[in-house]
Amino acid sequence: MSDDPFCRIIAGERPAFVVHEDDLTVSFLDGRPVFKGHVLVVPRAHVETLSDLTEVGPFFERVQEMARAVEAGLEAGGTFVALNNRVSQSVPHLHVHVVPRNPMDGLRGFFWPRTRYASDEEARSYAATIAGALSGGAT
């Protein structure tokens, strides 16, 4: 889908701060993160919802690896992992949010305040830190 921003990121037609990519997924920083280090994990194949995804197990293994990397790389207390199906899905391409969390970080319920990176350099630094925490450090 040429107008799908995630398909355009996957194709290299739209810039993103990529944390990791492989044959099944591409993971990149959310442009409007809840907290800095907020990563989106998307399948390379264009699917809109979880029901459309054929490789559920391998996809969620990548999500699990990213959650570990976000926690380890950012020294976060944990992660918030979320997925919207159609309702509240800002881009009609399946994506899982992996958000770093810490006690008393201010996030309550499903209110998702958004922030911005101060610069491209700051975003690149977060992406590199998380990528370095992945098994083998591969990006």
Q: Domains of the chain (ranges plus CATH)?
A: 5-137 (3.30.428.10)
Query: Residue length, the chain?
Result: 139
Task: Verify whether residue 95 is a known catalytic residue.
Answer: yes
What does the DSSP 8-state code read for residue 97?
Answer: E
Residues 6+ apart with CB under 8 A from 128: 139
Assess contact for 30 and 117: CB atoms under 8 A: no
Q: What's the CA gap between 3 and 20, in Å, rounded?
A: 23
Q: What's the CA gap between 131 and 50, in Å, rounded?
A: 25
Local structure of 81: helix, strand or coil: strand
Instruction: Considering the candidates 20, 38, 93, 95, report the single residue annotated as catalytic.
Output: 95
Global pTM reads 0.85
Per-residue pLDDT of the chain (139 residues; tens, 9 = 90+): 568 999 999 999 999 999 999 999 999 999 999 999 999 999 999 999 999 999 999 999 999 999 999 999 999 999 999 999 888 888 999 999 999 999 998 887 666 677 889 999 999 999 999 999 986 554 4
